[in-house]
Amino acid sequence: MNGEGRRRDFRYNRSSKKHKLIRTAEEELEAKLGFDLFSEGEKRLGWLLTFASSSLEDQETNKVSSCVDLYFVSQDGSCFKSKYKFRPYFYAATKDKMEIDVEAYLRRRYESQIANIEIVEKEDLDLKNHLSGLRKSYLKLSFDTVQQLMSVKSDLLHVVERNQSKSDATEAYELILMGKREQKSQDFLDCIVDLREYDVPYHWYDVSISSNDVMLERRTDLLQRAEVHVCAFDIETTKLPLKFPDAEYDLIMMISYMIDGQGYLIINRECVGDDIEDLEYTPKPEFEGCFTVTNVKNELELLKKWFAHMREEVGFQCDKNQGEYRAKFACHLDCFAWVKRDSYLPQGSHGLKAVTKAKLGYHPLEVNPEDMVRFAMEKPQMMASYSVSDAVATYFLYMTYVHPFIFSLATIIPMSPDEVLRKGSGTLCEMLLMVQAYKANVICPNKHQSDPEKFYNNHLLESETYIGGHVECLESGVFRSDLPTSFKLDPSAYEQLINNLDRDLQYAIRVEGKIDLDSVSNYDEVKNVIFEKLARLRDEPIRVECPLIYHLDVAAMYPNIILTNRLQPPSIVTDEVCTACDFNRPGKTCLRKLEWVWRGEIFMAKKSDYYHLKKQIESEFVDGTDVQLAKSFLDLPKTDQQLRLKDRLKKYCQKAYKRVLDKPVTEVREAGICMRENSFYVDTVRSFRDRRYEYKGLNKVWKGKLSEAKATGNSIKIQEAQDMVVLYDSLQLAHKCILNSFYGYVMRKGARWYSMEMAGVVTYTGAKIIQNARLLVEKIGKPLELDTDGIWCALPGSFPENFTFKTRDMKKKLTISYPCIMLNVDVARNNTNDQYQTLTNPVTKTYTTHSECSIEFEVDGPYKAMILPASKEEGILIKKRYAVFNDDGTLAELKGFEIKRRGELKLIKVFQNKKYRSALKTHQSGSSPVRGGNSGWRVVFVSC
DNA sequence: ATGCGAGCCTAC
DNA sequence: GAAGGTAGGCTCGCAT
């Protein structure tokens, strides 16, 4: 799979005798359910629904090969399946110039298992001086089946592990001996120093297409998904009081399900008090639920009915091994997985009821689980409605959110829809990076493993990481746009703003507006208004004014820091790397140095104590005194050993030093960033950022078309526009999800592209940006709270806000937010990367250099009010918790409170209570400074 | 009482 | 077997 688009032309251009297959039972069934194996005939067009790994056997030779089963849906709604052969492979690296010998040896050693070995040249970003064009040779071992690959891989992994653990000294010694000795098989094995890409999901490998086999051709012009059948179901069972249902003895009371919008309900009369008639549950006009009801006499009949219908509609069969009814071609998409990973709802709102309220916008029927069994007997009609309501909610949640999201994500990630839904965001990220690396002929690094025995200043490290985002709370209390507050401004800062006014406005016009300064007709007019405002603030710096409550935040800060600084794990270089590089010349600009802060926690014990304990424990036996059960410590798995050793060390520290860990150490470090490294990583990030912008734009376009369609009343066009709005919104969300994961991914356990330095540089750069913003804001207004990429602040009411520049030809208008551009000029001055290099000629290795800065503040507001809670303790300010209100009185933001709904109610009560209002006024206009000594009124949020 | 670390959940 | 990260608030249990 190349991971780009799921709609493919499908061709099968041969007279297929060679691979004539006997229909297996699976194929028989799949054919019955519409997925006929497409093996000859005209070229077909299909939308790839899903795929699964499989194998096929050549009838003549009985030779088994790995393949992927591809399940397609045609434009007319019919389906077909095809088997697409591939050869799984992995790479092996050898000692220098040993490729040919090792190849010959491996061919002999694994004669019956290896299908082919090729020597290939790959871009190896770990290779010294690779920018000069040096490539690394790898043996590409291909196999007919995954089983064969697995067997050879595990064999060679042991060899490589042994070879890698040998010291350099030994290696050098052996090299001298080699020439003199007759070469034995062991010598060739010793030459295999690394394996790569051996743990890649194997259906992923597929790229080559042989001339007499299945041909796949991507159709990038077609974007619309095919129509597929969707079934959402919900099962109600009996249960014991205060217990969860148990399949051992509990009965199914009813099954409700919706297939393509039509509802069905099967009633088990053993548990339900009365026959139920067909019913309707339509919580909203757009969520119509008409249910056909079948009443059966017992659970067996219920299951029979259910399975019969599932077989007929969806094509499920029983997998005897798993004991599950599944169909290979039917995607099983768990809406709950979407809720957990993609809904952005708080942990406490992950139940179906809460999700229905939040995402579908209606209140579903709710029944206390403890009442359900009784109600089934006593109020059967009510329980039927309840059961059906869950199926309706699930169906429309899936149709509205999950389906478009997952299938659009699946067009860019080479995984089946089921996996795209269930995998972590870091894994999705890695898959995308692997696609990009593959295209750039870059060999993938192996999964990162942390060094279990790292020291710092003669002490064992318990853990190490980097300083992350910067958070501060500077005020507490209530800030209202209609309630004057006191400002103590810094006149020199205003003087500075005035002096820089031309520079800042011209920056906004040229860089943000991309407009020629000369074409602006009202420049002086705007400038003078701002100048007047700033001058008045400068001249009267102590003042009481209604505040402008603003939120200024950097859009997609971490991705844009990555892109601005060309940050990627393989770009982090040491002096040693640079020294070996051809581009390392005096006055070079290709090395960019950026700071970050390392933080480590060390054990109290000294390194020598640690080694002493290690020696001791290594001579011991574990698992009791019984000689027969006793096992040498050294026979335990490595990770187990390290765990036990650390445990021993902890006990020792506790005894000898009265504490285990020393206080955390931090250290400012400098990372060297290569501005020339192969750009596949930043390219992946950028293409995501840009494609997301594209989809956001298209979403806006279709929103326009939707309102047009609504105006004309054409229901077909309304529906079409509505669908496109959802489609593009889900596409932009898909990109946002991945975009945000490219930063965290570099510190993920087992990441192929791992880098603590890179993560540290990203967060430290961000922390400096937000702290610089605060430095400015505290001179010209009041910062209230800042967190990582945004700052909440109160500016004096007379502070210049929005202005519109017009061009002489009247074609363009540019509206600027003065607080925003004031910060952006600062950001650009401090963060522009003038060393950004782009490879423009791969043959001559020529690079062009340009300046890059895509880090920009955006502005929200002004708002009606912001409330920052105080601690119960004197003078302690609380971060990450606040409430913000819009001008119309609605709640704009409520952050940090576990019980949002309850918190909201409480807050509004506090806010509206007359008694408190006067108290707030006293606090707000009072002369005592709020920061630090908060002796006045405090808003405290209490959850109960 | 007070201080701590663990566990849970949230902000970004 | 699969796995984005760090910062921070709050509760609770446990040791002092």
A61 touches strand B (CB under 7 A): no
User: Residue A527: which residues within 8 A CB-CB, separation 6 or more?
Assistant: A501, A502, A505
Q: What's the CA A440/C1' C3 distance, rounded, in angstroms?
A: 27
Reported in sequence order, the residue ranges of A407-497 that DSSP labels E, i.e. its strands, are 455-456, 459-466, 471-473, 477-480, 485-488
Q: What's the CA A790/C1' B12 distance, rounded, in angstroms?
A: 9
A745 nearest nucleotide via C1' and CA? C4
Q: What's the CA A588/C1' C6 distance, rounded, in angstroms?
A: 34
Please state, in angstroms and rounded to a whole number, the distance separating the CA atoms of residues A26 and A83: 13
**Most confident stretch, A197-201, A297-301, A397-401, A404-408:** A297-301
Largest CA distance in chain A: 97
Q: Which of A76-80, A177-181, A226-230, A755-759 has the lowest mean pLDDT?
A: A177-181
A463 nearest nucleotide via C1' and CA? C6
pLDDT in tens, A358-388: 888 889 998 988 899 999 999 999 999 999 9
Q: Using CA atoms in the order A554, A557, A561, A563, what is the torsion angle rounded to 10 degrees?
A: -110
- Give the mean pLDDT of chain A: 85
Section A124-140 average pLDDT:
97
- Domain A472-563+763-904 top-level CATH class: alpha beta
A787 nearest nucleotide via C1' and CA? B12
pLDDT in tens, A19-43: 445 677 788 888 887 888 887 778 8
CB < 7 A to strand B: residues 336-355, chain A: 346-349
Query: Is A163 a residue whose pLDDT tops 60?
Result: yes
pLDDT in tens, A654-690: 888 878 888 899 999 999 999 999 999 999 999 888 8
pLDDT in tens, A438-475: 999 999 999 999 998 999 999 999 999 999 999 999 99
pLDDT in tens, A298-320: 999 999 999 889 877 766 665 55
More confident residue, A410 or A936: A410
Section A102-120 average pLDDT:
95
Q: What's the CA A661/C1' B4 distance, rounded, in angstroms?
A: 13
pLDDT score for A7 = 43
A471 nearest nucleotide via C1' and CA? C7
Q: Which two tokens stand for residue A848?
A: 């062009």
A664 touches strand B (CB under 7 A): no
Strand C positions with any atom < 7 Å from protein CB? Answer: 2-11
pLDDT in tens, A745-799: 999 999 999 999 999 999 999 999 999 999 999 999 999 999 999 999 999 999 9
pLDDT score for A357 = 87
More confident residue, A930 or A801: A801
Cβ proximity of A564 and A830 under 8 Å: no
Query: Is A499 a residue whose pLDDT tops 90?
Result: yes
pLDDT score for A210 = 38
Q: What's the CA A509/C1' C8 distance, rounded, in angstroms?
A: 39
Least Cα distance to A793 among A863, A877, A871, A711 occurs for A863
Taking the domains of chain A in order of start, what are their residue ranges? 3-87+201-218, 91-196, 231-310+323-423, 426-452+569-575+675-754, 472-563+763-904, 591-671, 905-944
Q: What's the CA A410/C1' C5 distance, rounded, in angstroms?
A: 25
Q: What's the CA A148/C1' C2 distance, rounded, in angstroms?
A: 24
Q: Which of A423-427, A619-623, A739-743, A818-822 has the lowest mean pLDDT?
A: A619-623
Section A190-214 average pLDDT:
66
A462 touches strand B (CB under 7 A): no
User: Residue A711: which residues within 8 A CB-CB, separation 6 or more?
Assistant: none
Q: What's the CA A463/C1' C8 distance, rounded, in angstroms?
A: 19
A197 touches strand B (CB under 7 A): no
pLDDT score for A932 = 24
Cβ proximity of A711 and A627 under 8 Å: no
Q: What's the CA A604/C1' C15 distance, rounded, in angstroms?
A: 21
A763 touches strand B (CB under 7 A): no
Q: Which residues touch strand C (CB under 7 A)?
A: A 422-427, 447, 465-469, 471-473, 558, 599, 740-741, 743-745, 747-750, 759, 763, 788, 869, 871, 877-881, 896, 941, 943
Q: What's the CA A472/C1' B12 distance, rounded, in angstroms?
A: 13
**Most confident stretch, A40-49, A197-206, A603-612, A672-681:** A672-681
pLDDT score for A170 = 59
Q: What's the CA A343/C1' B3 distance, rounded, in angstroms?
A: 39
- β-strand partners of A785: A473, A792
A879 nearest nucleotide via C1' and CA? C8
Give the model's confidence band at A178: pLDDT under 50 very low, under 70 low, under 90 confident, else very high: low
Q: Which of A109-113, A213-217, A260-264, A785-789 has the lowest mean pLDDT?
A: A213-217
Q: What's the CA A786/C1' B2 distance, rounded, in angstroms?
A: 31
CA atoms within 13 A on the CB side of A879: 10
In total, chain A counts a number of residues equal to 944
A599 nearest nucleotide via C1' and CA? C6
Section A690-710 average pLDDT:
89
More confident residue, A220 or A355: A355
Give the model's confidence band at A725: pLDDT under 50 very low, under 70 low, under 90 confident, else very high: confident
A943 touches strand B (CB under 7 A): no
User: Residue A658: which residues within 8 A CB-CB, separation 6 or more?
Assistant: none
Please state, in angstroms and rounded to a whole number, the distance separating the CA atoms of residues A392 and A818: 49
Q: What is the CATH number of domain A231-310+323-423?
A: 3.30.420.10
- Domain A426-452+569-575+675-754 top-level CATH class: mainly alpha
% of chain A exceeding 90 in pLDDT? 58
Strand B positions with any atom < 7 Å from protein CB? Answer: 8-12
Query: Is A735 a residue whose pLDDT tops 90?
Result: no
Give the model's confidence band at A728: pLDDT under 50 very low, under 70 low, under 90 confident, else very high: confident
Query: Is A818 a residue whose pLDDT tops 60?
Result: yes
Q: What's the CA A459/C1' C6 distance, rounded, in angstroms?
A: 24
A874 touches strand B (CB under 7 A): no
A345 nearest nucleotide via C1' and CA? B10
Query: Is A14 a residue whose pLDDT tops 60?
Result: no
pLDDT score for A746 = 97
More confident residue, A691 or A934: A691
CB < 7 A to strand B: residues 252-271, chain A: none
